[in-house]
Chains A and B, each alone.
Chain A
Amino acid sequence: MKSIINLFMLIFFLHVGEVYAQTLYGTTLGEVSLYSDTPIETIQAVNKKSGAILNSSNRELVVQMKITDFVFPNKLMQEHFNENYMESERYPTATFKGKIKEQVDLETPGTYPVTAEGSLTIHGVSKPVTVKGQVVSNGTELKLDFKFQVKPEEYQIEIPSLVITKIAELIDISGKMSLAKR
């Protein structure tokens, strides 16, 4: 009977330990930019209110942003982006849920090239993605940098033939965020 209790305690503490030992790093002011370039038009926008949370103990990472927080220099473009393409009233956010693949201890200061694997949800459509990036850690702050490409077609974002020459087939997405220990 004693051994059962021991086992019980062990599992209990392991379990509780797993929950409480986690160190979270997060931000709500991350920058995510999108860039589309064709010979006719260059379109760029930046979202400076992107949120991210990383659990350093299991390296799980969630990034989420409101589509309406993307700021375009041309406000008409911004309106069209929300109204006609992203349908942000119906699909208000873009979300990445995943995990950093490499077994790195991000609490140890250093620069780590990393790969995040997970699912990306845009315009209500979820797709598995692999994103390459870099984490620079100083122990209390993680600087995340990443870059990847998105094909609007894959996320069922319709682009009418009238403007097809103005919008790139592949949109560059890049991000820069400082996640503070909490």
Chain B
Amino acid sequence: MRTIASFRKTLQAILILGFLGVFGLTKAKAQDDLLSILNEEQSKEPVYTMATFKASRLINGQSIETISKNHLNFWISHRFGAVNSGFVANFFGLDEAKIRLGLEYGLTDQWLIGAGRSSLDKTYDVYTKYKLFRQSNKFPVTVTGLAGWAINTMETGFAMQSGSEMRFNSNLERYSYWGQTLIARKVNEKLSFQVMPTFLHYNKVEDPSLANDLWALGVGGRYKLTKRFTLSGEYYHSFTDPGIYEATTGKSYPYHDAISIGVDIETGGHVFQLHFTNSRGMIENQFIGQTVGAWEKGDIFYGFNIARTFSFDKGAKHKDK
């Protein structure tokens, strides 16, 4: 009898301990349970990827980035002379520069308009860029559409970068147009890639054997070395047929693919982009279709872009000065 009673007591104790154990466990887990309820409620909204690239330009060309609503970007870009143009004669190209000044403004967080003026071929350009799709935890890439227009305001009969003479019979012939689809993916916090199928149209080309319409494909990317220092690269390949030009004129095809490499340095409201490129043009119709420099010949131009962002959003207080 005694053994049964003690057995009963032991069983009782085990049961109590067991239940207390389960009871205790629920207690300890309660906060995590609350957290998992919260996680479930909060996970419904997509998390959009931000800062695929540091700036709205990769190097010469555009990136998928637009600027925020009511923000203004001021771009100052220089492309110096060829680095192989000599020390005494040209101080490795730094004696001269082609300059582009540009402004862009965010109409919405996804839509910007921009304009600029480039000293190369005295060209004005306007463009608009719209973010169609944004990369998020539910969509793999960001897709941005770009449309641009440029007018060349040189006197008719001027000598182009390629050496050819360009004659304009009407103002309409000074226009170029381009459209671009920019597709980018931020692979991780350091690495981003971009592809840019491009279509260009020149109302007038210097030689009838050159095509007025041009298809091109660009690829680019960036790799962040540190939080504020980024490596970047950009390559535009034009689908041209040099054969027709070479056969009719007897000269070698004057234009090359644009290849650029550089770094982005970010300091507060500024982004500094320093790079080497074989193109002195900073507008799509110039660098995609009419790059005369060739890397293999040493036609390399040192250049920089500086972007300064201003916010005109209400509530943005700046005490600097």
CA of A4 to CA of B69 in the docked complex: distance in angstroms?
Answer: 70
Cβ-defined partner of B22 (8 Å) among A15, A28, A73, A160: A15
Chain A 77-91 near chain B by CB (<8 Å), digits 1 or 0 = 001101110010110
Within 8 Å CB of A51, what residues of B? 38, 41-42
Chain A 5-23 near chain B by CB (<8 Å), digits 1 or 0 = 0011001101100110000
What are 14 A-B pairs with beta-carbon distances under 8 A?
A12-B19, A24-B34, A49-B42, A49-B45, A51-B38, A53-B37, A60-B30, A66-B47, A73-B314, A73-B315, A82-B51, A92-B47, A162-B267, A162-B268
CA of A83 to CA of B48 in the docked complex: distance in angstroms?
Answer: 13
A41-B320, A84-B228 given as contacts; is B47 within 8 A of A28 (CB)? no
Count how many pairs of residues, one from A and one from B, have CB atoms less than 8 Å apart in the complex.
Answer: 123
Within 8 Å CB of B47, what residues of A? 66, 68, 92
Within 8 Å CB of A42, what residues of B? 317, 319
Within 8 Å CB of A52, what residues of B? 38
Report yes or no: A89 in contact with B189, Cβ–Cβ below 8 A: yes
CA of A34 to CA of B50 in the docked complex: distance in angstroms?
Answer: 20
Chain B 6-50 near chain A by CB (<8 Å), digits 1 or 0 = 001001100110011011001100111011011101100101101
Within 8 Å CB of A73, what residues of B? 311, 313-317
CB of B229 to closest CB in A, whole Å: 11
Cβ-defined partner of A15 (8 Å) among B19, B48, B68: B19
Report yes or no: A62 in contact with B31, Cβ–Cβ below 8 A: yes
Report yes or no: B30 in contact with A58, Cβ–Cβ below 8 A: yes
The range of chain A's interface size is 35 or more
Q: Does any Cβ of A come within 8 Å of B318's Cβ?
A: yes
Q: Does any Cβ of A come within 8 Å of B269's Cβ?
A: yes
The 5 A-B residue pairs with the shortest CB-CB distance, nearest first, are A75-B68, A73-B316, A73-B315, A62-B34, A11-B19
Given A14-B23, A26-B37: 11 more A-B contacts, CB < 8 Å? A15-B26, A28-B41, A39-B319, A51-B41, A55-B30, A58-B30, A64-B38, A73-B314, A73-B315, A75-B67, A75-B69
Report yes or no: A26 in contact with B38, Cβ–Cβ below 8 A: yes
CA of A179 to CA of B38 in the docked complex: distance in angstroms?
Answer: 12
CB of B292 to closest CB in A, whole Å: 36
Report yes or no: B50 in contact with A68, Cβ–Cβ below 8 A: yes
Report yes or no: B50 in contact with A82, Cβ–Cβ below 8 A: yes
Report yes or no: B19 in contact with A83, Cβ–Cβ below 8 A: no
Within 8 Å CB of B19, what residues of A? 8, 11-12, 15
Q: Does any Cβ of A come within 8 Å of B237's Cβ?
A: no
CA of A4 to CA of B21 in the docked complex: distance in angstroms?
Answer: 17
CA of A50 to CA of B187 in the docked complex: distance in angstroms?
Answer: 27
